[in-house]
Amino acid sequence: MKDLTQGKILTHLIAMAVPMAVGMFIQTLYFLVDLYFVGALGAHALAGVSNAGSVFFFIMALTQVLNIGCGTLVAHAVGRKDRVQANTLFHQSMLIAAICSVLLIVLGYAFGHVFFEFMTPDAMTRQAAVDYFYWFLPALVLQFGLTVMAAALRGAGVVKPVMLISVVAVVLNIILSPVLISGWGSGVALGVSGAGLASSLSAIFAMVMTVGYFVRKVDYLTMPAKTLVPERQVMLKVINLGLPSGGEFLLTFMYMSVIYWALSQFAASAQAGFGLGVRIMQVLFLPVMAVAFAAPAIAAQNYAAGKYDRVQETHRYTNLLTCTLMAILTLVCLINSSWFFTPFSDEPHVILVAATFLGYVCLNFVPAGFTFAASGMFQALGNTWPALYSTASRLVLFAVPVIWLAGQSDFEIEQIWVFSVATVYCQAMISYLLLRREMNKKLVHTGEEPMSSPVSNSTGV
Judge contact between 64 and 371, C-beta under 8 A.
Answer: no
Nearest to 413 by CA among 453, 460, 360, 373: 360
- Indicate the helix (H) or strand (E) that contains 401: helix 385-406
Crossing angle of the two packed helices 232-263 and 413-442, in degrees rounded to 10: 160
Q: Are 34 and 177 in contact (CB under 8 A)?
A: yes
Contact by Cβ (8 Å): 140, 108: yes
Summarize pLDDT for 112-143 with one digit per residue, the tens: 788 888 777 788 888 988 999 999 999 999 99
DSSP 218: -
Q: How far apart are CA 3 and CA 313, in angstroms?
A: 16
Number of Cβ atoms within 10 Å of the Cβ of 84: 8
Mean pLDDT of 235-260: 84
The pTM of the whole model exceeds 0.85: no
Question: Which pLDDT band holds residue 449 (cuts at 50, 70, 90)?
Answer: very low
CB atoms under 10 Å from CB of 348, counted, come to: 9
d(CA 133, CA 55): 9
Q: What is the largest CA-CA distance in the chain?
A: 69
Residue 459: its pLDDT value, please? 33
* pLDDT 10s digits, 137-183: 999 999 999 999 999 988 888 877 887 888 888 889 888 988 999 88
**Which pLDDT belongs to residue 14?**
86
Q: Quick check: 442 pLDDT over 50?
A: yes
Residue by residue, DSSP assigns 305-316 as: TT-HHHHHHHHH
Tallying the residues shown for the chain, one arrives at 461
Q: Cβ(169)–Cβ(205) under 8 Å?
A: yes
What's the pLDDT band for 434 if we cut at 50, 70, 90? very high
Distance of CA 384 to the CA centre of its chain: 16
**pLDDT of 101 over the 90 cut:** yes
Q: Residue 131 corresponds to which amino acid?
A: D
Give mean pLDDT, residues 427-447: 83
pLDDT at 341 over 90: no
Crossing angle, helix 232-263 and helix 83-119, to 10 degrees? 30
